[in-house]
Structure 1
Amino acid sequence: MAGGSAVPLRRAHGHRVNEALLRVLVPAVIDVLVRRGADFAAAEDAVQDALVEAVRVWPDDPPADPQGWLVTVAWRKFLDAARADSSRRRREARVEDEPPAPGAAVDDTLWLYFLCAHPSLTPASAVALTLRAVGGLTTRQIARAYLVPETTMAQRISRAKRTVSGVRLNQPGDVATVLRVLYLVFNEGHSGDVDLAAEAIRLTRRLAARIDHEEVAGLLALMLLHHARRPARIRADGSLVPLAEQDRGRWDTRLIAEGVDLLQTALARDRLGEFQAQAAIAALHADAQTAEETDWPQIVEWYDELVRLTDSPVARLNRAVALGEADGPRAGLVALAELDPALPRHTAAAAYLHERDGDLATAARLYAEAAASAPSLPERDHLLRQAARLNARVDG
């Protein structure tokens, strides 16, 4: 399975293996093989080959110990590949005295998170490798989610595996890098048969179970609070619903409560980080029963904290919009004027603030300009509708 080929999860006669179970087991099995001496790329290839074997065998003969079965088969696949390569025979000789002992596997996949988010990888490669090795997704699923050809994604994953193949993590990894990768996955949302937002939440939950870190909890809280609003974000016709217009009765109160609890626990440690600050902003939005009840002054204060922590231009832009809500649109426009107009969504923010200030003609023009550089078709269509709405009012 070298090169990241996809693993079929359905047999020809229609029986299925437990896909969710396989995805959970993949990182643990890779971990066992690497601890026995396989490099990461070889271990990942062997595990993928073992998954193909599982799809063939399990529907008719399910194992009592699925993880042990996968470890045994993957280890055999690794040794077979090692014997076929003279450069690998020396490594095999070092480890062959260690018996497979599949039952001795340790549920410790934390190092995989750090390896897949290694600084030597591009963000796109880190995301793809994380979804493969930690998430257990197939190359085909990842390619479909990112709307690229499977061959392109296979090449990206293969390059990433080669890059980290010789890396040995002998010191704690960079949690911030891992969290950025998981947040990138979450922000992709969903397409095709893979819900990347839900997948990011699943992986972040697993990370939170393995590492006691306030920013891990902060990111998980942020994801849950954003995900809670998802049912109200899109109309039946596929158009976007702005936050102020969303039916808050459709928000998932269970996810909101869980997110708020996680955030409060993290904030109590008094070690504020950027994801905790973002989660606090999301929590304030979730706490408002109506858009009019939103505590904008406190949101501005949290954006001040976020800017202090990150000095992010995007955070400054969002702060300008929040300031326009708290202190009036002209205050927001003044803050926005201090930022680079080339920032993503700068023009859309200016359009919104000009509309709030009563300058409908300028707002309509800016909405149309913003639509030309919108990052997605739904967002472009929303901005064009806003421009058309205001133009109708101006002409009327």
Structure 2
Amino acid sequence: MTDADLRAAVPQVLSALVRRGAEFAAAEDAVQEALVEGLRTWAADPPRDVRAWLVTVAWRRYLDAVRSDVARQRREDIPPPEPVEVPGRDDSLQLYFLCAHPSLTPSSAVALTLRAVGGLTTRQIAEAYLVPEATMAQRISRAKRTISGERLDAPGDVGTVLRTLYLVFNEGYGGDVDLVAEAVRLTRQLHQAYDHPEVAGLMALMLLHAARRPARFSSSGALVPLASQDRSRWDTRLIAEGVSVLQAALAADRLGEYQAQAAIAALHCDAASAAETDWVQVVEWYDELVALTGSPVARLNRAVAVGEADGPLAGLTALADLDPGLPRWAAVAAYLHAAAGDTATAADLYTQAARAATNTAERDHLQREAARLRGATPPGGG
């Protein structure tokens, strides 16, 4: 069984324990202990049914933990488990909703989803988010305590689940866990189990963005903006799959924000170059997205599209209604001013945007743009 297969089995095993009455936090600990035991012993004596083995061992570990805490829980007489029955996909599906519970903060929901649904270790999650393992362990423990009284069969909010998965995707990757690939894997699993056009919309959006990923950075690690990317490096297989998933979702005629974003991404992927992009359609899809969400970020991106479709002055007019305090407002304003020929203002805005950048690659790119417009050599020799 591959690592991916093993991680896919985790939510089914965990849901089996919770379904039998196990408290979520204790059940999750028991599943992790069973995984460790399995990896230690399977090389010499692999089980015929890995999932059934994990359910049996995890349940025993759970019972042992309960019985060792007699004074607090009074659970010594828990009956032996019924014959093992590996749960179906609907049980594991509910874990998505439980781990993305509205009472959790976004960071806690992401961490718990990666741990309980994704099957990642605390160390792997901590490395992916570039935080100490102890910090991540505390975050996960708090999240488990928060939802400890929630039932597995409680109705869930698919919007919260999708936002959580999108947060995972947007974090990128780090350590030995590729969060982009992990988000795609989990969303694909959700898409296969849950017939909802917005689930399909997010699946398509992730696939289309992931397809462009090989061209996002140069060989030296510099960020490459969309207009300058080598499109021959885009993954055409992922693009075809993303477009197919999107078309099926749009056919349901229940438009949502992820479908609209995926439609914009599909238009970019369909163009042989930035100049050949159907910017008029992109603006139309941003109009749909703004109508659905009212999102200032969507309006910010729409200003860029308007600048491409109708000229930079039109883009600046669209930008004028937005709060300059928005993240990346200065970068968008710089781009449009540069396109309009006002290089001095654009250089100042790029410098301002660089100071507010949240990651090194983005900051370096913005500094290079400012230096280019000033005719200077950027820091580090460009």
TM-score (norm 1): 0.92
* 2: CA distance, partners of 1:276 / 1:91: 48
Shift of 1:290: 1.2
Residue 212 of structure 1 aligns to which amino acid in structure 2?
D
Match of 2:110 in 1: 127
* 2: CA distance, partners of 1:282 / 1:18: 32
* 2: CA distance, partners of 1:257 / 1:293: 19
Instruction: Tell me if 1:380 matches 2:363.
Output: yes
The answer to whether the 8 A contact 2:128-2:176 is kept is yes
Unaligned 5+ runs, structure 1: 1-16
Instruction: Tell me if 1:137 matches 2:107.
Output: no
1:159-190 alpha-carbon deviations (Å, 9 max, x no partner): 00111111014443100000000000000111
Instruction: Tell me if 1:37 matches 2:21.
Output: yes
Equivalent residue for 2:179, pick from 184, 196, 211: 196
1:164-220 alpha-carbon deviations (Å, 9 max, x no partner): 111014443100000000000000111111100000000000001111000000000
Instruction: Tell me if 1:106 matches 2:106.
Output: no
The answer to whether the 8 A contact 1:41-1:162 is kept is yes
Equivalent residue for 2:10, pick from 19, 26, 36: 26
Shift of 1:318: 0.4
* 1: CA distance, partners of 2:250 / 2:2: 38
Task: Supply the RMSD in Å over aligned alpha carbons.
Answer: 1.4
TM-score (norm 2): 0.96
Name the SS for the 1:191 alignment partner.
coil
Matches within 5 A, 1:242-321: 242-321=225-304
Name the SS for the 2:375 alignment partner.
helix
Match of 1:347 in 2: 330
Shift of 1:22: 2.1
* 2: CA distance, partners of 1:21 / 1:90: 36
Shift of 1:130: 0.1
Shift of 1:19: 2.5
Residue 55 of structure 1 aligns to which amino acid in structure 2?
L
Equivalent residue for 2:51, pick from 67, 85, 99: 67
The answer to whether the 8 A contact 2:351-2:370 is kept is yes
The answer to whether the 8 A contact 1:67-1:102 is kept is no
The answer to whether the 8 A contact 1:37-1:91 is kept is no
Match of 2:203 in 1: 220
* 1: CA distance, partners of 2:8 / 2:328: 38
Sequence identity percentage: 71
* 2: CA distance, partners of 1:370 / 1:132: 35
* 2: CA distance, partners of 1:105 / 1:88: 30
Match of 1:389 in 2: 372
Name the SS for the 2:322 alignment partner.
coil
Match of 1:56 in 2: 40
* 1: CA distance, partners of 2:195 / 2:335: 41
1:329-362 alpha-carbon deviations (Å, 9 max, x no partner): 0111111111000000000000000000001111
The answer to whether the 8 A contact 1:280-1:302 is kept is yes
* 2: CA distance, partners of 1:49 / 1:259: 37
Instruction: Tell me if 1:329 matches 2:312.
Output: yes
* 1: CA distance, partners of 2:65 / 2:279: 60
* 1: CA distance, partners of 2:366 / 2:206: 25
